[in-house]
């Protein structure tokens, strides 16, 4: 299990793994003919780095270990990236990836903690996941169990008011075991984030709420690792990592294209995307 500077996978190995995670995502959504590729691709390096280089005490044979680190995908529609990581860690057999969004599958269109091993909380209603993560971090402080809690939000998701109620509470309780990643890919289902609801400076907003704030390239593994190290060293306040990303990252005709928010590829598109990812 990852978890020290000495035992972490290299940035190059993590990058190669994130690319393979994208291939898993592409296969899943193509076979299902339903799902969210764009936002799953934009979060691939973040989620891969968390699971394979940062989070501690993860045990596929005992996924409810009380002292484990927690992950919450607050932008739950991007769950293919989560499923791909959990499968590769052995939480369930890879054959389940072929059943994405099918009736009675353990892999539904939004994460379900009652059906899927390794899912720490059900998400889907935007904003609620980060509130759940904050509760987990608060519980960890009370239990003094050294857990750390990580959550990924979409930049469009932070239009939800509950995000800012949560930000106030996390700062009040000095949750230095809590890390928010903002997957800032600048696109929502209906347009750019600024067209739908101008975000202005996400960094200034979180700083004003009393958070430690970092800004990184969300596709640069070295920057992700460095930010996680700085978050671990920060005491007395939670950390928000604003990760600048590209929706559909990795496939040229999907990158920064709004229509790939929730679109499944045709056979021709699937073959072209796969060719780019394996090149």
Residues 100-151 pLDDT 10s:
999 999 999 999 999 999 999 999 889 899 999 999 999 999 999 999 999 9
Average pLDDT of the segment spanning 246-255: 96
- The label of the residue with tokens 């903690």 reads 113
pLDDT band at 74 (very low <50, low <70, confident <90, very high): very high
pLDDT of 4 above 90: no
CA–CA distance, 76 with 51 (Å, rounded to integer) = 17
pLDDT band at 2 (very low <50, low <70, confident <90, very high): very low
Give the domains, in start order, of the chain with CATH numbers: 11-278 (3.40.50.970)
The pLDDT > 70 percentage for the chain reads 97
pLDDT of 162 above 80: yes
Q: What is the pLDDT of residues 184-231, one digit of tens each?
A: 999 887 788 888 898 889 999 999 999 999 999 999 999 999 999 999
pLDDT of 274 above 60: yes
Mean per-residue pLDDT of the chain:
94
**What pLDDT score was predicted for residue 228?**
98
CA–CA distance, 147 with 145 (Å, rounded to integer) = 6
* Residue 57: both structure tokens together: 């005490």
CA–CA distance, 129 with 110 (Å, rounded to integer) = 12
pLDDT of 232 above 50: yes
**What pLDDT score was predicted for residue 7?**
60
**What pLDDT score was predicted for residue 5?**
43
- CA of residue 177 relative to chain centroid, distance: 17
Contacts of 55 (CB under 8 A, 6+ apart): 2, 3, 68, 69, 71, 148, 150
């Amino acid at each position: 299990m990852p978890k020290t500077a000495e035992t972490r996978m290299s940035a190059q190995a993590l990058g190669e793994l994130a690319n393979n995670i994208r291939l898993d995502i592409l296969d899943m959504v193509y076979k299902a003919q339903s799902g969210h590729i764009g936002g799953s691709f934009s979060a691939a390096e973040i989620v891969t780095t968390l699971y394979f280089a940062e989070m501690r005490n993860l045990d596929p044979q005992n996924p409810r270990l009380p002292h484990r680190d927690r992950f919450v995908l607050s932008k739950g529609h991007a769950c293919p990236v989560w499923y791909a990581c959990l499968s590769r860690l052995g939480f369930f057999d890879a054959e389940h990836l072929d059943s994405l969004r099918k009736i009675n599958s353990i892999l539904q269109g939004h994460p379900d903690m009652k059906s899927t091993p390794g899912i720490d909380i059900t998400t889907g209603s935007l904003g609620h996941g980060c509130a759940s993560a904050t509760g987990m971090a608060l519980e960890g402080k009370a239990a003094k169990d050294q857990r750390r809690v990580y959550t990924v939000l979409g930049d469009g998701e932070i239009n939800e008011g509950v995000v800012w109620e949560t930000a106030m509470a996390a700062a009040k309780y000095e949750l230095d075991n809590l890390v928010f990643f903002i997957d800032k890919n600048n696109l929502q289902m209906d347009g750019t984030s600024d067209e739908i609801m101008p975000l202005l400076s996400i960094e200034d907003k979180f700083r004003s709420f009393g958070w430690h704030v970092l800004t990184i390239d969300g596709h640069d593994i070295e920057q992700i690792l460095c930010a996680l190290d700085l978050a671990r060293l920060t005491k007395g306040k939670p950390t928000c990592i604003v990760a600048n990303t590209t929706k559909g990252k990795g496939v040229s005709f999907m990158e920064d294209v709004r229509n790939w928010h929730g679109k499944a590829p045709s056979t021709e598109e699937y073959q072209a995307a796969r060719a780019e990812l394996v090149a």
